[in-house]
Structure 1
């Protein structure tokens, strides 16, 4: 009897083990529509709520400029909204192509995001990389700032026309700094060249900040960068702006004429926004897109914009995609016409 009881106990134990093991395996159930549905432990693990870890925000320019300031401010707001760290990394080079290529090659999982400047619409025409707006899922635009013609406060030119007259008499002598060969600020200087019939000596830097430092140090004669990037130098009395490349005067430099007022039809502005690798899942978009909208329209970014001298410029994903593609079409024609292709 004891033997039989022991055998029965062993059999029951084996059956129990089999049943328990079966709970972790894939099982089929019949839904209300009569079709079978499959549920697994692995599928349950795959439904982890986004975001579940650190988000990496890639910035295409050196620290301190318009791109860096905007991206870091928005990143800080995203941390509060999403509840995970947002770590910013600067990857300057090739007018943003280095950083944008990195983002494009990253996994489309919502954990690698890139700040994309106006150069997103230019680098294909320049021959730097096979990248265009449709290479990404565009999240939203964030900022805009017109170009300026800026010199040191002690420069001999009091007006834009004096600067132009000197450049005409001294071809390629005036050294104009920009944020990289083929960058929007290079385009700005080249546009002024074409409109005024002059020839500058273009000096590229990895971002606007080092270009401005070179100007202050007396290594170059002028920069064609944004209002925002020169505002602190103007406020401190070290720099002066001779003209603004926009249709309307800058709210931050109300006494500075536009280039159109000075007789030159030049309108060049830098803008920026955020993008993810192509193929972002819808459940990630549903979380990420509203979070960016809230961060870009935050009081913090508006406050920074007012302090630094740029404008908040929000367009949602669809609007930003349309806008960026229009800019892309423009620069695909404009850049070859200016002879700037690599």
Structure 2
């Protein structure tokens, strides 16, 4: 799943306190570097609607970065990693309350797909962004939470949250002790990808210049350091690379979205 950042303003954005979301567009003409400010955990996004067709309304410029989805739990829970959580869920059906920043956001879709693959179920409780979900964790209203390292790291470092699993093939440098899903025996990855797009009518030479400028920034050691400090791994590439990744993400996650029978925007 991804953010699709665009220099074109988007009307009536819906704000989410989460660094990851369903197919979306960043609001306004934010500079690329501003996306990775250490305090930039709030992004303006618009919900995907039937009238918004990413492949028709936007043209790919470049991938910008990615970070894995993670599952965090309260430290006093009886399970300390995702394998132990799965065993607990099997022994105690419906006993785990799982929060997310929104139903159609990857940090819900990935756990839904993972649970279905194993035949287990948690009680999903969606929130409008990270802030209320984190408060629910802190008040013991939910047990586990699908999120990113960006928003959860302060509470992990304080000892209130524990990373149960990283949905990637490699560990996170911010929490090197946290095991990946692969290490725990599950072939499951769910990267939160960040892209930059332009309006569909943008001339190809302009797209090429934008792509070169972005990749130059992504190779800057100072930018890499700032991005990694908040849990982002810079990753550029060509517009064609971005299109392939984006199409693969759409193909993977759209069936999961449809299975949730979510109401359309405006309903």
Determine the C-alpha separation between the residues in 2 that align with 1:333 and 1:76: 33
Determine the C-alpha separation between the residues in 2 that align with 1:306 and 1:243: 19
- For the Cα contact (< 8 Å) 2:68–2:148, is it kept in 1? yes
Give the 3-state SS of the residue equivalent to 1:145 in structure 2: strand
Q: Is 1:75 matched with 2:75?
A: no
Q: Is 1:320 matched with 2:242?
A: yes
Determine the C-alpha separation between the residues in 2 that align with 1:208 and 1:144: 18
Q: Is 1:65 matched with 2:22?
A: no
Q: Which has the higher contact order (CA 8 A, sep 6+)?
A: 2
The match for 2:180 is 258
Q: TM-score, normalised to structure 2's length?
A: 0.75
The match for 1:160 is 82
- For the Cα contact (< 8 Å) 2:75–2:160, is it kept in 1? yes
Larger Rg computed on CA atoms? 1
The match for 2:108 is 186
Determine the C-alpha separation between the residues in 2 that align with 1:164 and 1:63: 28
Q: TM-score, normalised to structure 1's length?
A: 0.60
Q: How does 1:34-183 map to 2 (within 5 A)?
A: 61-63=15-17, 65=19, 75-76=30-31, 90-92=43-45, 96-97=47-48, 130-183=52-105
The match for 1:276 is 198
Going from structure 1 to structure 2, the CA distance change for 1:326 and 1:308 (only over 3 Å counts) comes to: same
Determine the C-alpha separation between the residues in 2 that align with 1:92 and 1:257: 31
Going from structure 1 to structure 2, the CA distance change for 1:280 and 1:340 (only over 3 Å counts) comes to: same
Going from structure 1 to structure 2, the CA distance change for 1:132 and 1:92 (only over 3 Å counts) comes to: closer
Determine the C-alpha separation between the residues in 2 that align with 1:163 and 1:302: 34
Determine the C-alpha separation between the residues in 2 that align with 1:256 and 1:285: 39
Going from structure 1 to structure 2, the CA distance change for 1:129 and 1:237 (only over 3 Å counts) comes to: farther
Determine the C-alpha separation between the residues in 2 that align with 1:187 and 1:333: 10
Q: Is 1:216 matched with 2:138?
A: yes
My pick for the range that moved more, 267-276 or 324-333, is 324-333
Q: How far does the alpha carbon of each residue in 1:272-330 deviate from its partner, in whole angstroms, 9 at most, with x for none?
A: 11112211135643554433333444444312222122211212322211221232233
Which aligned segments of 4 or more residues in structure 1 are displaced greater than 6 angstroms? none
Going from structure 1 to structure 2, the CA distance change for 1:301 and 1:205 (only over 3 Å counts) comes to: farther
Determine the C-alpha separation between the residues in 2 that align with 1:286 and 1:249: 34
Q: How far does the alpha carbon of each residue in 1:206-249 deviate from its partner, in whole angstroms, 9 at most, with x for none?
A: 33444233222322111112233322221222211111111233
- For the Cα contact (< 8 Å) 1:78–1:292, is it kept in 2? no
My pick for the range that moved more, 158-167 or 214-223, is 158-167
Determine the C-alpha separation between the residues in 1 that align with 2:198 and 2:14: 14
Determine the C-alpha separation between the residues in 1 that align with 2:254 and 2:194: 18
Q: Aligned Cα RMSD in Å?
A: 3.2
Query: What runs of 5+ residues in structure 2 fail to find an aligned partner?
Result: 1-6, 35-41, 263-267
The match for 2:260 is 340
The match for 2:38 is none
